[in-house]
Structures are given as C-alpha cells and as structure tokens.
Amino acid sequence: MKRALDPSVRRRAIWGYAFISPFIVGITVFFAIPFVQSIIFSVNELQVTQDGYELIPIGLANYHRAFFIHPQYNRVLLDSVLQMLTELPLIVIFSFLAASLLNQSFRGRTVARAIFFVPVILTSGVLLQLQTQDLLMNALLSAQAGMSADAAREGIMIGRDLAMLLDASRLDPRFVNYVISAVTDINQTVNRTGVQILIFLAGLQSISPSLYEAATIDGATGWEVFWKVTFPMISPLVLVNVIYSVVDIFVRYDNPMMILVRDVAFAQNNYGLSAAFSWVYFLAVLIILGIIASAFSRRVFYQT
Amino acid sequence: MAMTDTIFAHPSIAHTRVDRRRLLFHRVGKSAYSVLRGVIVIGICFLILHPVVSRIMISFMTEQDLFDQTVIYIPRQFTLENYATVWRAMNFAVPFFNSLRLTLLVSLFQVVACALIGYGFARFDFPGKRIWFGLVIFTLIVPPQTIMIPLFLHFRFFDVLGLFRLVSGQRGINLLDSIWPFVLMSATGMGMKSGLYIYIVRQFYRSVPRELEEAAYIDGAGVLKTFTMVMLPSGVPAFVTIFLFSFVWQWTDTFYSNLFLRNLLTLPRALNSLPLVISQQMYGEIGTLATMPPAMASMYTNVGSLMLVAPLVILYVVFQRYFVESVERSGMVG
C-alpha cells in the first residue's frame, strides 16, 4: 500500500491505464454490453420494428426449445464436442513434433519453416469454406494425381495392415480405430496446426542453451534431456496451445454448430433462439476449457 | 548433440577400441536420424504443397483436358482462358480494391491499437492489471457468434450514451454498410482476433531488455517519447507479425463483412457467387448453377481462389523471413 503512494509509481500506473484505455473502451462498448444483451435476448423473443426492436419476455422457452423440441440441436452439440475431443490431441502432438523438427538445424530449414506455415493462409476464412463445399474439386484433384481408385485402395490397405498390426498387439479396439483415423486424416491435422507450431517454435527458441549444456555435462542422454529440460520448459505452452486449439476448433467457420447458429439467426430471423443456442454452446466450451485448464495447470512448470 | 560429439572425439577417450565402436554407432545413429528427419519433413511439405500445385496446374487446363484421364498434372492444351473468364466475371479490379482498402484500414488500426495496449500490459504496473489481461484472454474464448446479434443491432441503432436520441429523437444512427463498425472495433482492440495480437505484442515487449527503456528515461525522455522513439522501433518485428495475421484473416473474412458490410463487394463475396455469375454470362437469362457442367463450376471457383490467395502468398514470401524470426524472438512463454 505504501508503494501506491509513491508519486512515480502512481504516475506509471496512470500511464499504464492510458495505454490500455482503447481496450477498456472497446471491451465495455463492443464486448461487455453485447455480451449481457445476448443473455437478455436469449430469454426473449426479439421482433424488429420500424424504429428499433422490441423484446417480448418468454422466459426459458428458447432453452426448452433448444433441448427438447429442435430436431438437430442436441446432436450437433454432441457432435462438435466429440469432434473437438478427437482432434485436440492430434493437433497438439503433431504441432509439438513439427516444432521440434523445425527447431533443429538442417539444410533447407528456412524453406521448410516457410512451407509449414502456408496452411495458415490456405485455410483461412472463405478458402476453408470453399474447400469443404467443393467436394467435386477434391475428387478431381485425386483423379488428376492418378490416384483415384488406386490410391484409395492403397490407403485402405495401409489402414488394414496397420489395423492388423495393432489388433495383434491386443490393444483396446477404440484406441486402434483412433490411431488409424489419425493416420488417414493426417492431411486435416497438418492443415490446422500452423499457429500452434509457431507458438511451440517460439517457446523452444526461448529455452536457454545453457540449460542443455548443463544437462549434457551432467551426462544426461537425449531422452533424459527431453523429459527433464525441454518438456518442463515448454509445458506452459502446451496449455496455451490446448486452449487455442479448443477455441479454434469450436469457432471455426465449418463447425456445424456455428453454421446452425448463423442459420437460425439470419435465415430464419429467430434471434432469440439463436442467442440461446450460442449460449448453451458457449457454456459447454467454457466447462470443457475449465476441466482441461485445471487438469493441466497442476502439471505445468513455471520457471519463476 | 554437439556436446556429445566433442566428448567422444576427445583423443584420450576415443582411442580405445570400445569407444571407437561406440563412436561408430553414434555416427550411424546420427545419420540414420537425419535421413528419417528428412523423410518426415519432405513428406509433410509434400502433403501441404501437393494440393496447391495440382490446383495451379488444373487452372491452366481446358475443359477437354479436365475430363481426359490421360492428362495428369501437365495440361496438354495450356490456356489462360480460365483466368480471363474469371477476371471478367468478377470484374476483378473492383472487388480487389474494395477488399484491399478495407483490409489495409482494418490491419493498420489493429496494429496501432494492439501496439499501445500490448505495451501498456507489458511495461506498466497498475491496479487491476491481471483482471484486465484476463479479460483480453476471455475475449478470445467467447465465440464471436455469441455476441453477433447484439453487435449487429448495436451498429444498426448506434448511439453513444443516448446522446443522439436526445438530439434527433431517432433511435441511433445506422452504421451498418459503412466502414465504421470495422474502424471502431479494430481501433479499440476488439476486432477479429485482437486478443491474440495483444498477447503477441505483450510477450514481445516483455522480452525486450529493460535497460533500453531506462537509458532513455535517464536521458530525460518522458514516457511518450520513450515509447515513440525507442520502444516502437524495437517492436517492429512483432508489428509485422500481427499485421500479416490481421491482413490474411481480414482478406479472407466473410463473417464480419456479412454482418456489417452486406453491400460491399469484397473478394470473398465475389468468389462465392462466381459460378453463378459465369453461368449467367454464358447462358444469358436461363443461366443457373445447373446449366454449367459441375466440373467447370468447380474449376472456376478454383481459379478464383488462386487469384484471391495470390496477393497473400506474395505478401508472405516477401515478409516470411522477417515473420518467422520475429515470432522466435518474441518467445511467447508466459
């Protein structure tokens, strides 16, 4: 408390507020107010009138409709959660491996790095939308590559070989299926990891070389160095990446729930219902993030 | 790795027979590893580049080549006709410059706002800082679709503290279909993914040594002067990064422009209606999506996408080096 009275500290605090003042205005006007309003809308029926809009309170009817009457809502909600849970580990593990590779020194590293981030450009906004719509183009592409039937058969064969191998190991069949889908969907995973690779790479670069030197002098093997130095140092970024990926998967344009929310609002003009939809969805996201964050934060290592 | 090399290479150790064998194993293992690494890296690069290259090759094909099973990758009848058709149908220059103006404006405002805000979070201590920064992260977590309708109505009947209503009696100004929603939101750190940019700038400035600033203060510079003369120039790599991100995402955005700018013909929007427009131009009044062979519709969309991406790729190639290095320097730990 004594510190706060010191004039220079106080001046710094005022400057701090001055610098973030645009954010304070922005979050109040363009975030907090709409955020509260969307709760209000979700328990009302919204009708657009000539000089504005009217709200007719209808209680929890919109929520009731979402869960018990709407034919698709529950299924879409469950689908997007399951989709997230399957994609998340793949994305985090792949981006970590890719970042570790790109962090090593080899010839052509700069080129490889440049290429690894290309998906960030190629899957943004309208491009992703067009790609998912355009199944025909994809079919054509594989036909052009001369791998239509052959490659598909081959792909299945590889999948089957892998399946037989894994089956022989008597692992849980659910796990086996997961590994196989991970291998066959590698394309999708690669396309979704640009930013995550970037974050991991930045983290790997910031680990002080003296730590590695000390470990090697103490006789640690590569394996030990990885688990005792690299992994703890990078663990805060695992959390950052998990959160980023969860949010990214949930709000991306091809997410079925986002499409549903948009349709209900702008194709059917049912703003109240759309608000209720997105609120239930947001709460689901928040709960999942909370579980993940609390599970991770106990294991994360902070240097300071 | 380098360390172990020097230990093994030390003459007094390496000259015994056992150690020579270990040295050999070590060398073989290392080169096996670098081969494996090369295979993986090249494989992933192939996965990323293969669709792009095929799309480019297909875009030079005539309709005949497209259906010819024997034509693979290299078009037999090389043509630029597809590009010409798409250029005419989109009236490319118009949506291009519309998009360019909007994207440049938004990105510049984003960079300025996020530079100020990020610097504020990185270098000043003030009560409530943790809460405010928590809110930055919170804005990233909330799906924009949750607040989309209130925002839409907010700009439809825009008003500051009811002042406008007091003066004119009307319920707010209609700011939709103008550039203002974009300007206002990106200038206040609430634009598309602004939270991420604030985070990047903050992390970057935290890694800049404090001595730099202190030297300026000792020389008698004030906070503002220190910021503009010392900290802004040293933050350039971070600004390039967020400018690139912002440019790419705004350039291909349909969500915000469908919400606020429904009448401006941006590139993504022109691209979405492209097959229909071409069909109407080819077949006149009766032209619908059904009158054109689906493969050709697909081909035109493909060509249009390539034309949309081209400026981004050029931008990326120009700034790539700068960009990757800057991200490394920012060391986003925290």
Is B254:B272 a contact under the CB 8 Å cutoff?
A: yes
Give the separation between CA A112 and CA A116, rounded to whole angstroms.
6
A91 and A240 assigned to the same domain = yes
Residue A3 included in any domain: no
Q: What residue in B sits closest to A215 (Cα-Cα)?
A: B3
A99 and A197 assigned to the same domain = yes
Closest to B329 measured CA to CA, from A216, A204, A128: A204
**Closest partner residue to B333 among A31, A190, A236, by Cβ?**
A236
A98 and A209 assigned to the same domain = yes
Domains: count for chain A? 2
Query: At A222, which amino acid appears?
Result: G
Q: Tokens 């080129």 map to which residue?
A: A111
A83-94: buried (b, 16+ CB within 10 Å) or exposed (e) per residue?
ebeebbebbbeb
Domain boundary among A170, A191, A212: A191
CB-CB under 8 Å, B198 with A23: yes
Give the separation between CA B71 and CA A143, rounded to whole angstroms.
10
- How close are the terminal C-alpha atoms of chain B, in Å? 27
Is A213:B3 a contact under the CB 8 Å cutoff?
A: yes
Would the pLDDT of B215 be above 80? yes
What CATH code would you report for B90-330?
1.10.3720.10
A37-54: buried (b, 16+ CB within 10 Å) or exposed (e) per residue?
bbeebbbbbbeeeeeebe
A203 and A283 assigned to the same domain = yes
Better-predicted residue by pLDDT, A70 or A173: A70
Give the separation between CA A215 and CA A221, rounded to whole angstroms.
8
Q: At A148, list the tokens.
A: 């239509």
Q: What is the pLDDT of residues A24-83, one digit of tens each?
A: 999 998 999 999 988 888 888 877 776 667 788 887 888 888 888 888 888 888 888 888
**Closest partner residue to B332 among A33, A203, A281, by Cβ?**
A203
Average pLDDT value for residue range B282-306:
77
Establish if A139 touches chain B: CB-CB under 8 angstroms.
no
Predicted local confidence at residue A134, as pLDDT: 63
Rounded to whole angstroms, what are the CA distances from B107 to A175, A210, B181?
A: 44, 39, 14
A98 and A140 assigned to the same domain = no
Phi-psi map region of B74: left, alpha, beta (phi>0 left; psi -120 to 50 alpha): beta
Would the pLDDT of B225 be above 80? yes
pLDDT band, very low/low/confident/very high, at B14 (cuts 50, 70, 90)? very low
Q: At B225, list the tokens.
A: 């002067």
Q: What residue in A sits closest to B196 (Cα-Cα)?
A: A244
Closest to B244 measured CA to CA, from B136, B327, B329, B330: B327
Among A28, A29, A31, most B C-beta atoms within 10 A, so best to mutate, is A31
A182 and A198 assigned to the same domain = no
- As a whole number, the mean pLDDT across chain A is 80
Q: Which residues contact A86 (CB under 8 A, 6 or more apart)?
A: A178, A181
Predicted local confidence at residue B117, as pLDDT: 96
Predicted local confidence at residue B159, as pLDDT: 77
**Closest partner residue to A19 among B58, B124, B248, by Cβ?**
B124
Q: What is the pLDDT of residues A81-95, one digit of tens each?
A: 888 888 899 999 999
Predicted local confidence at residue A183, as pLDDT: 75
Q: What percent of chain B shows pLDDT beyond 90?
A: 24
Give the separation between CA B157 and CA A46, rounded to whole angstroms.
15
A144 and A104 assigned to the same domain = no
CB-CB under 8 Å, A281 with B254: no
Q: At A117, list the tokens.
A: 């981030």
- Based on its alpha-carbon atoms, the radius of gyration of chain B, rounded to whole angstroms, reads 28
Is B121:A8 a contact under the CB 8 Å cutoff?
A: no
Phi-psi map region of B193: left, alpha, beta (phi>0 left; psi -120 to 50 alpha): left
A254 and A110 assigned to the same domain = yes
Instruction: Work out how many CB contacts closer than 8 A connect A with B.
Output: 274
Q: At A35, list the tokens.
A: 């955020």
CB-CB under 8 Å, A16 with B309: no
Predicted local confidence at residue B333, as pLDDT: 41
**B150: buried, middle or exposed (CB in 10 Å: 19+, 13-18, 0-12)?**
buried
Predicted local confidence at residue A136, as pLDDT: 55
Would the pLDDT of A22 be above 90? yes
Question: What are the beta bridge partners of residue B158?
Answer: B173
Residue A88 included in any domain: yes
Q: What is the pLDDT of residues A193-245, one digit of tens each?
A: 888 888 888 888 878 888 888 988 888 888 888 888 888 888 888 888 888 89
A117 and A152 assigned to the same domain = no
Distance in Å, alpha carbon of A175 to nearest chain B alpha carbon: 24
Q: What is the pLDDT of residues B88-126, one digit of tens each?
A: 988 899 999 999 999 999 999 999 999 999 999 999 999
- How close are the terminal C-alpha atoms of chain A, in Å? 24
Count other C-beta atoms under 10 Å from residue B215's C-beta: 13
Would the pLDDT of A181 be above 80? no
Count other C-beta atoms under 10 Å from residue A60's C-beta: 12
Contacting residues of B for A108, CB less than 8 Å apart: 41
Would you give the distance in Å from CA B151 to the centre of its chain? 24
Return the CATH number at A214: 1.10.3720.10
Domain boundary among A173, A191, A209: A191
Better-predicted residue by pLDDT, A282 or A262: A282
Relative orientation angle of helices B129-141 and B194-207, to the nearest 10 degrees: 140
Contacting residues of B for A240, CB less than 8 Å apart: 332
Would the pLDDT of A285 be above 60? yes
Contacting residues of B for A261, CB less than 8 Å apart: 145
Predicted local confidence at residue A138, as pLDDT: 59
Would the pLDDT of B292 be above 80? no
Question: What are the beta bridge partners of residue A57?
Answer: A44
Residue A61 included in any domain: no
Is B74:B87 a contact under the CB 8 Å cutoff?
A: no
Q: What is the pLDDT of residues B35-72, one digit of tens each?
A: 999 999 998 898 888 888 888 888 898 888 877 777 77
Residue A171 included in any domain: yes
Average pLDDT value for residue range B139-150:
85
Average pLDDT value for residue range B216-240:
87
Range of the domain at A160: 135-191
Predicted local confidence at residue A51, as pLDDT: 66
- As a whole number, the mean pLDDT across chain B is 83
Q: What is the pLDDT of residues B157-175, one digit of tens each?
A: 887 766 666 676 666 788 8
Question: Domain extents for chain B?
Answer: 2-53, 90-330
Is A129:A254 a contact under the CB 8 Å cutoff?
A: yes
Phi-psi map region of A52: left, alpha, beta (phi>0 left; psi -120 to 50 alpha): left
A106 and A181 assigned to the same domain = no
Is A265:A300 a contact under the CB 8 Å cutoff?
A: no
A260 and A166 assigned to the same domain = no
**Closest partner residue to B272 among A52, A110, A126, by Cβ?**
A126
Predicted local confidence at residue A159, as pLDDT: 61
Q: At B293, list the tokens.
A: 């062979």
Q: What residue in B sits closest to A205 (Cα-Cα)?
A: B328
Predicted local confidence at residue A243, as pLDDT: 86
Give the separation between CA A36 and CA B90, rounded to whole angstroms.
41
Would the pLDDT of A112 be above 80? yes
CB-CB under 8 Å, A52 with B189: no
A161 and A262 assigned to the same domain = no
